Amino acid sequence: MARTPVQVTEAAPTSRGGLRREAFLKAALEVFLEQGYEAASMAEIVTRAGGSLTTLYNQFGDKQGLFLAVISERVQLLTASMFVELSAHTPVETGLTRIAEQSVTKLLEPASLELYRLILGLGAKFPDVATAFQKNGPDRVSAALAAYLADRAEAREIEIEDPVEAAYLFISLARAGLVTRALLDPEFRPCADDIKASVRTCVNLFLNGVRPRPAT
């Protein structure tokens, strides 16, 4: 009956069921990311995880249940890791750079990127997964950045009308370049320095624009 013990802190499980469950989730993630939802086979997952098909069904109900369990767990981890705390007094270049590097770096890790691809591709079939990602990831990062930008505007470091909109734009700008390209071009694997360079350009553009300004 898939008795999932309520376990608030997802510590390393050591019970038999817990171990099995972990192995299943790990193998399922692999297979779903490699082959996509439809093409993934339950038998293949069991082959990689060890254990038996029966147990797999007992623990997760059916294929969709397994998929949702795997994906929501990973979305949780990914969105949490994209987040970064910004203390209000951090200078604006530093804050923007930090938040952009963190979120872009995480999203570009191969496992994250393929997860993101899966979420995007199945947005029509599993809208809840897509929405959960949006709410817990991008939206939370955006909200934190908005608060920070509002503070920086108070300090006269920047001039913006709508901090929420500005935050969303900056995040989009930072993410769009590398991540979109990586999704479309399998050869494109930016390294840490590429990310730093891209973020620097974005921060600079966001702050200064391209219009000539008189020397200060």
Between the two ends of the chain, the Cα-to-Cα distance in Å is 70
| Angle formed at CA 25 by CA 53 and CA 137, multiple of 5 degrees | 145
Is residue 176 involved in binding a second copy (CB under 8 A)? yes
Q: Least distance (Å) from DNA to the CB of residue 16?
A: 5
Q: Least distance (Å) from DNA to the CB of residue 46?
A: 8
3-state secondary structure 190-209: CCHHHHHHHHHHHHHHHHHC
Q: What share of the chain is helix, strand, coil (3-state, %, to 5)?
A: 70, 0, 30
The residue from 40, 75, 174, 202 that contacts DNA (CB under 7 A) is 40
Is residue 15 involved in binding DNA (CB under 7 A)? yes
170 closest CA partner among 95, 112, 113: 95
The residue from 19, 39, 80, 155 that contacts a second copy (CB under 8 A) is 39
Burial class (CB in 10 A: 0-12, 13-18, 19+), 72: middle
Is residue 7 involved in binding DNA (CB under 7 A)? no
The residue from 41, 64, 94, 172 that contacts a second copy (CB under 8 A) is 172
Which 110-149 positions form the footprint of a second copy (CB under 8 A)? 114, 117-125, 127, 130-131, 133-134, 138
Contact predicate 56/42, CB 8 Å: yes
Residues 6+ apart with CB under 8 A from 173: 202, 205, 206
The residue from 102, 177, 194, 200 that contacts a second copy (CB under 8 A) is 177
Site residues for DNA per CB under 7 A: 1, 3, 15-17, 20, 39-44, 50-55, 57-59, 62-64
Per CB under 8 A, residues contacting a second copy are: 34, 36-39, 114, 117-125, 127, 130-131, 133-134, 138, 156-160, 165-166, 168-169, 172-173, 175-177, 180-181, 183-186, 201-202, 205-214, 216
